[in-house]
Amino acid sequence: MRGKNGRLWRSGRQGRLLGVRSAAGQVLLLQIIVAAVLIVAAVSALSLQARYDSERDAQNRSLAAAESFADAPGTLAALTSRDPARALQRHTVDAWHGSGVDFVAVLAPDGTRIADSDPNLVGTRAEGVQQAAQGRTITEIFEGDPHDAARAVVPVMDERGTVVGLVSAGVSIENVGEAVDRQLPLFFGAGAAALALATLSAALVSRRLRRQTHGLGPAEMTRMYEHHDAVLHAVREGVLIVGDDGRLTLANDEARRLLDLPPDAEGRPVTALGLARDTAELLVSGRPVTDEVHLAGDRLLAVNTRPTDPYGGPSGTVATLRDTTELTAVTGVAAVARERLTLLYEAGVRIGTTLDVVRTAQELSEVAVPRFADFVTVELLDPVLRGEEPTEGHAVMRRAALSGVRDDHPLQPPGDLIRFDVPTTPMAAALARNRGVLEADLTVAHGWRAQDPEGADVALAYGIRSLVTVPLQARGVVLGMANFWRSAPSGRFEDEDVAFAEELAARAAVAVDNARRYTREHTMAVTLQRSLLPRVLPEQDALDIAYRYLPAQAGVGGDWFDVIPLSGTRVALVVGDVVGHGLHAAATMGRLRTAVHNFSSLDLPPDELLGHLDELVSRIDDEETGEAGSNEITGATCLYAIYDPVSGECCMASAGHFAPAVVRPDGSVDFPDVPVFPPLGLGGGPFETYEVRLPEGSLLALYTDGLIVHRQRDLDAGLRLLGDTLAGEPGRSPEETCRAVFDAMLPPHRGDDIALLVAGTRLLAGDRVADWDVPPDPSAVGPVRGACVRQLERWGLDELAFTTELMLSELITNAIRYGSPPIHVRMLRGRTLICEVSDGSSTSPHLRRAATTDEGGRGLYLVSRLAGRWGTRYTASGKVMWTEQSLTASPAPLEVPALFDDAAW
């Protein structure tokens, strides 16, 4: 019986142990079930988390690739180019290969693909990019054509904030799923192993529990399990349970540590635990939140709250707390680095927009305020401001730019001299080391105060507290200094700020040096150009002259004008424009102006003079092409006009230049139909002349294209405006006309030189002109000579009678002897006395020195000694020999040769 009873007892005990009614059996079964559920949940959660992490990683990679491509320096320029698809397709494919995403595409704002890693998709329309087209970056799990994907769409905006394109990158969902599927065997294997271990551990625990519980029932074991959940206190997230009465029901160890809760916190009102007000209010509100950040001491906590009612527990709120302090710090550092990179990119775009040294320095100061410094000052060496090479001495500079968050600063204004001759100052130290210097706390910077103690006290009283000073260097040469200041409300500069300031200053220094070089070249070109243009207008009786000349702001051109007195009181007006800008154009202009003077001394008509100029420019092109190996053509336009105040006739010829405007005395304006031929140097001759009779009091306006054509005005509009301006008020003087034209037509920005020449016509009075026809008979010389002497007496020029009589005798005698009819004599009284003898022969005499045995050859020698000026000009019917004598100077004594009967013809 005993054995039988013993066996029965042992059998019954084992049955109770393994049965579901016993505590040990229930614990075993419950633990197995819980383990299985937890493992299944864990495997499922890991699978879901793996898929979520894969999708999020895919979105992050897509966003990084899209942002990198969108922020690339050439993307915006390519999108605004004429052919964005051609400019971007190759770069899109390269970005796709290098980024690790499944596709990269550049889209128009309406979603049309401009470039795509799959060329077959170019031209198709992408879906779901409307938010990005409005300027917002989107990341999403996209479902649609051509395939589902985790993608990011980033807008590309120009300087005005307008979206000019979109960059899309992504990873297909199929690839994301494959990444997750590869992890499932590992998850399932780990789950199975965990379940086996959990079953074994549950059996061991149940066996130990059987020994230690001494027959405790399930109710007691359940109560023990509810109050001592080891898992709850083992997690690394703080867990709080707050009842609906606002009292703390449960706090695990991590929650106590994070919130610094007192030991008796359970059961006390949450508002009485010393928590931050916003945190306490959230815990008792019952409001569900996700990752809401709260400050607890020196920690940043991400708080999640959920009500417990939906899950079958007592009413209340469960809150989880996660310490994100380190993550926030890392994120902040990354944000600062990104901001600095953005600022450097903006600096590259905004600094150096003009070729002006001072403006470039001002752009540097404006870029850094207020995102890097509260105040920025830029000092430059005086030679740099003038466009010259910097000198060796750096102790004295001139403030070129200043920008700040406030206008009432105590810093010296632009234009003041700034000295750095005390070696203890940060500026002097930076110049000595050729690198940036940080003065984090100016209140204790005694070296900084040494240069200007009073100014330093004023700056400190104002609130300036921190300084980074950096030399501006280009090509190893110091150009100036850049000083970055922060005032009291802002944080002090740190060591890493010095490197950023040096990078910013290095980029600005290159722009300043480029502007300096341009200033030097521009100054040289302007100086050369002004030296080649007429400084004063010559005295003459035919025209009342006024002019205006302005060089281009962006580069000196080759515009020029001239007023050249000719024989017979005539005056030549010239205006021209050499193609191009710079020293070459100015030098070419000087050569052409000199050539015009030389050709005009030959009294050539306008068409012949332009023909000679055309040949000259062609030779210049040939010479320069042979020397430099360039195919560039010099090219120049020119208008040459001759006005005769005796007849009122004006003849002109044009080589590619605009016709002049003619303002009649009644105020009417017209543009003569002057035959326009190709510019000089293109072989456009032979040229033709145009003749027009101008009443006395007319205005002749000659101009270059810079006056009538610019970016905001085309040629037709410019000519209409010029005509309306000239016709505004009849009777204006040339000076008033120049002023009115410039006031009405001067462009806001001169991209080309502007030359304006306005001439008011005069007529030589009839009583100042005398002429005679001479028969081809030597006996006619005496009567004509006598008539000329009598005319001189009527003009009150008796002192010139002897010399005039001698010269006219020689010229008339030679015309009768060697010339051909008709022979005509004319005397003109203007600023000088002009005598002209014309005949029908085109044979020109020339001056020579006759030997003592020669019977002739002394006539022109005599004329050249007696006349102030003399010469020959050709007409359509022959030639004119002319002399010119001053009305004020007494004739010089002359030793007349023994024989002076004629000249050599």
Of 4-18, 523-537, 840-854, where does the model show the most confidence? 523-537
* Beta carbons of 104 and 89 less than 8 angstroms apart: no
pLDDT of 623-644, one tens digit each? 766 554 444 556 789 999 999 9
Please tell me the predicted confidence (pLDDT) of residue 217: 61
* pLDDT at position 332 over 60: no
| CA-only gyration radius of the chain, Å | 49
Please tell me the predicted confidence (pLDDT) of residue 299: 78
Please tell me the predicted confidence (pLDDT) of residue 2: 39
- The Cα–Cα gap between 752 and 435 comes to 42
* Beta carbons of 827 and 793 less than 8 angstroms apart: no
* pLDDT at position 884 over 50: yes
* pLDDT at position 552 over 60: yes
Which of 151, 51, 53, 67 is closest to 101 using CA atoms? 151
pLDDT band at 226 (very low <50, low <70, confident <90, very high): low
pLDDT of 199-219, one tens digit each? 777 777 766 656 655 555 666
Provide the CB-side half-sphere exposure for 246 (13 A, CA): 11
- The Cα–Cα gap between 788 and 806 comes to 11
**Location of structure tokens 């989107």:** 138
Mean pLDDT of the 120-137 span: 83
Between strands 676-677 and 649-655, the pairing is parallel
Which of 453, 389, 29, 416 is closest to 199 using CA atoms? 29
* pLDDT at position 342 over 90: no
* pLDDT at position 330 over 60: no
pLDDT band at 851 (very low <50, low <70, confident <90, very high): very low
- The Cα–Cα gap between 18 and 210 comes to 11
**In what helix (H) or strand (E) does residue 896 lie, and over which residues does it extend?**
none
- The Cα–Cα gap between 645 and 569 comes to 7
* pLDDT at position 894 over 80: no
Mean pLDDT of the 417-441 span: 87
Which of 405, 447, 446, 413 is closest to 427 using CA atoms? 447
Is the pLDDT higher at 660 or at 340? Answer: 660
Return the ∠ at Cα 361 (arms to 359 and 362), rounded to 5°.
Answer: 60
* Beta carbons of 900 and 858 less than 8 angstroms apart: yes
Cα torsion 338, 339, 340, 346: sign:
positive
What residues contact residue 764 under an 8 Å CB cut-off, 6+ apart? 541, 542, 569, 645, 646, 828, 830
Q: Among 118-127, 389-398, 410-419, 766-775, whose mean pLDDT is lowest?
A: 389-398
Residue 423 is given by DSSP the state: T
* Beta carbons of 112 and 84 less than 8 angstroms apart: no
pLDDT of 445-503, one tens digit each? 888 888 888 888 888 888 888 999 999 888 888 888 999 999 888 888 888 888 888 88
* pLDDT at position 148 over 90: no
* pLDDT at position 703 over 90: yes
* pLDDT at position 776 over 70: yes
- The Cα–Cα gap between 205 and 192 comes to 20
* pLDDT at position 4 over 60: no
pLDDT band at 898 (very low <50, low <70, confident <90, very high): very low
CA distances from residue 193 to 41, 197, 851 in whole angstroms, order as listed: 15, 6, 135
- The Cα–Cα gap between 754 and 767 comes to 40
Which of 418, 32, 393 is closest to 202 using CA atoms? 32
Please tell me the predicted confidence (pLDDT) of residue 858: 59
Mean pLDDT of the 733-760 span: 88
- The Cα–Cα gap between 472 and 394 comes to 11
pLDDT of 28-77, one tens digit each? 777 778 777 777 777 777 777 777 777 777 778 788 888 888 888 788 88
Please tell me the predicted confidence (pLDDT) of residue 890: 58
607-630: b or e for each residue (b if 16 or more CB lie within 10 Å)?
bbbbbebbebbbebbeebeeeeee
Between strands 543-550 and 558-565, the pairing is unpaired
Between strands 669-670 and 661-663, the pairing is antiparallel
Q: Among 519-533, 566-580, 596-610, 801-815, whose mean pLDDT is lowest?
A: 519-533
Please tell me the predicted confidence (pLDDT) of residue 274: 84
336-362: b or e for each residue (b if 16 or more CB lie within 10 Å)?
eeeebeebeeebbeebbeebbbbbbbb
Q: Is 227 exposed, middle or buried (0-12, 13-18, 19+ CB in 10 A)?
A: exposed
Q: Long-range CB contacts (< 8 A, 24+ apart) of 897-901?
A: 897/850, 897/858, 897/861, 897/862, 899/850, 899/854, 899/855, 899/856, 899/858, 900/810, 900/858, 900/859, 900/861, 900/862, 901/813, 901/855, 901/856, 901/858, 901/859
Q: Which tokens belong to 359?
A: 């403006």
Q: What is the Cα 122 distance to its own chain's centre?
A: 32
pLDDT band at 899 (very low <50, low <70, confident <90, very high): very low
- The Cα–Cα gap between 128 and 136 comes to 12
Q: Among 179-183, 210-214, 582-586, 748-752, whose mean pLDDT is lowest?
A: 210-214
Q: If you count DSSP H runs as helices and E runs as strands, how many of each does the chain have, helices first?
A: 26, 32
pLDDT band at 556 (very low <50, low <70, confident <90, very high): low
Please tell me the predicted confidence (pLDDT) of residue 20: 52
* Beta carbons of 150 and 176 less than 8 angstroms apart: yes
* Beta carbons of 794 and 827 less than 8 angstroms apart: no
Instruction: Report the DSSP beta bridge partners of residue 318.
Output: 241, 306
Please tell me the predicted confidence (pLDDT) of residue 846: 63
* Beta carbons of 577 and 637 less than 8 angstroms apart: yes
Q: Which tokens belong to 93?
A: 């494919």
* pLDDT at position 12 over 70: no
Q: Got the DSSP string for 517-548?
A: HHHHHHHHHHHHHHHHS-SSPPP-SSEEEEEE
**Location of structure tokens 């005539």:** 570
Mean pLDDT of the 824-834 span: 90
Rounded percentage of the chain residues whose pLDDT exceeds 90: 13
* pLDDT at position 83 over 50: yes
- The Cα–Cα gap between 528 and 178 comes to 74
**In what helix (H) or strand (E) does residue 690 lie, and over which residues does it extend?**
strand 690-693
- The Cα–Cα gap between 545 and 270 comes to 97
Q: What is the Cα 515 distance to its own chain's centre?
A: 12
